[in-house]
Structures are given as structure tokens and as C-alpha cells.
């Protein structure tokens, strides 16, 4: 079956530190991969996506590369800000048009000033 595993949180970093949140997936076929972010008290927002192997998704300084050989989609940012504090969800969707999104458990990120 399809599943997503991401690193446990919370992750606490100082401002301007380098961030990595690991994510691996199990899927039949070639899924699309996503990172969603949930800021305190808000809903889910798409942060970035990648639809095929070796694609790099990027947004707001965050990046993730679709690695088919390692079935991974790790989220990185070179210099985090206090405003990046949120819960980050790795997710996948099988290629069918109206398939559900399968989420990881989420990683809470705290950035200290």
C-alpha cells in the first residue's frame, strides 16, 4: 500500500540554522509528492510539490527533490526564520486523477530567535 514516513518532532532550531526534515515514502507506481505546512491555528497550505523523479520543488526558500532510488523527498531550507515555525506534512498522491492524498504524521518545527 501507499504510505509516508517522516521524522518525528518537535524539531527546535535557532534562527538562520539549516533545516532538514526527512521523508520517505512507499507507493505503487509513480506518485506525486508534496510538502504541506500548517501554521498555528490555520489550515493546510501547499508548500511545494514534485511530480516525477529528480524534480525539485521549491517555494519560500524551501526545497525538496524527488528521489526515486531512495524513495525520499526530504525538505530543506538553508536559513530558517522564526516565521517558519509550523507543522510540516510530507504527502503523496498516486497518479490517478482524483486520488486521495496520503499524509505523514507531521513534524512540528520551532524556530528560536
How far apart are the C-alpha atoms of 92 and 4, rounded to whole Å?
Answer: 7
- Name the minimum Å distance from CB 59 to other proteins: 13
**Exactly one of 49, 62, 64, 73 binds other proteins (CB under 8 A); which one?**
49
Which SS3 state, helix, strand or coil, does residue 39 take?
coil
Q: DSSP for 16-33, please give it.
A: T--EEE-EEEE-SS--EE
42 contributes a contact to other proteins by CB under 8 A = yes
Binding segment for other proteins (CB under 8 A), chosen from 13-21, 22-30, 68-76, 98-106, is 98-106
Cα first-last separation, the chain: 41
- Name the minimum Å distance from CB 106 to other proteins: 6
107 contributes a contact to other proteins by CB under 8 A = no
Binding segment for other proteins (CB under 8 A), chosen from 15-23, 31-39, 69-77, 78-86, is 31-39
Amino acid at each position: 500500500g501507499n504510505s509516508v514516513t517522516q521524522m518525528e518532532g518537535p524539531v527546535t532550531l535557532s534562527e538562520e540554522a539549516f533545516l532538514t526534515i526527512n521523508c520517505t515514502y512507499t507507493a505503487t507506481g509513480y506518485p506525486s509528492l508534496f510538502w504541506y505546512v500548517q501554521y498555528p491555528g490555520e489550515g493546510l497550505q501547499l508548500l511545494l510539490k514534485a511530480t516525477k523523479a529528480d524534480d525539485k520543488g521549491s517555494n519560500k526558500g524551501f526545497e525538496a527533490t524527488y528521489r526515486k532510488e531512495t524513495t525520499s523527498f526530504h525538505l530543506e531550507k538553508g536559513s530558517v526564520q522564526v516565521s517558519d515555525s509550523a507543522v510540516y506534512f510530507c504527502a503523496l498522491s498516486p497518479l490517478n486523477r482524483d486520488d486521495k492524498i496520503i499524509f505523514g504524521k507531521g513534524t512540528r518545527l520551532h524556530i528560536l530567535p
